[in-house]
Structure 1
Amino acid sequence: MGLEDEYVGDADWQNFVQVYEEDYLNDDARELAKAMDDNLDMAVVLCGKMGRERALQWLERSVPALGDKRPADCLKTPKLIKRLRMTLMSMP
């Protein structure tokens, strides 16, 4: 059972994203989204959690919570997108 199996659903994800949109839906998030296959929602959250520069570096690193996959690789399939979203929601 992977983290994606615990995905809380798109409605809860959108509610989570809304918490960050007011402060972080900006040019930094839009630039980051370009490196994330245009996933602006996740870019907004990442900008809020770590800032654009750190997020760009994080995207290219192997992350244990993602099964040692790079976050950038998790943008390729719906299953891994759910895993990435759950990881983002779990981050402090």
Structure 2
Amino acid sequence: MIYLEQYYPGEEDWILFSDLYRNIPDSAIANKLESIFKDRSVAIVIAGILGNSSLEWINKKIPALDNLRPVDCVDDPKLQKRLRTMLMRMDL
């Protein structure tokens, strides 16, 4: 079976991508997401793409994540890559 994390372009590309969202002002949403994901870059990207619906979205089953919730990806490095790959594709 092919999983989305197999298409993860690497840390350098993730850093370049997440830097696009660095100018988003700190917000309560981004801060809450950072406490959940323990990763500021993921938090600001989710907040930047989904805005006010971010906290609701992270608890929904997402087909692109093989019906996992984004919060299910927190503690597994492979699933973190799956989430990051999906986020990079959402922004297209």
Shift of 1:35: 2.3
Give the TM-score, by structure 2 length.
Answer: 0.89
Scaled by the length of structure 1, what TM-score is found? 0.89
What does residue range 21-60 of structure 1 map to in structure 2 within 5 Å? 21-24=22-25, 26-28=26-28, 29-36=30-37, 38-51=38-51, 53-60=52-59
- Percent identity for Structure 1 against Structure 2: 37
In 2, Cα distance between the equivalents of 1:16 and 1:67?
23
Count of aligned pairs between the two proteins: 89
Structure with the higher fraction of residues in helix conformation: 1
Corresponding residue for residue 78 of structure 1: 77
Distance across 2 between alignment mates of 1:82 and 1:40: 15
Letter of the 2:48 counterpart: G
Alpha-carbon RMSD: 1.2
Which aligned runs of 4 or more in structure 1 are off by greater than 4 angstroms? none
Shift of 1:12: 0.2
Instruction: Identify unmatched segments of 5+ residues in structure 1.
Output: none
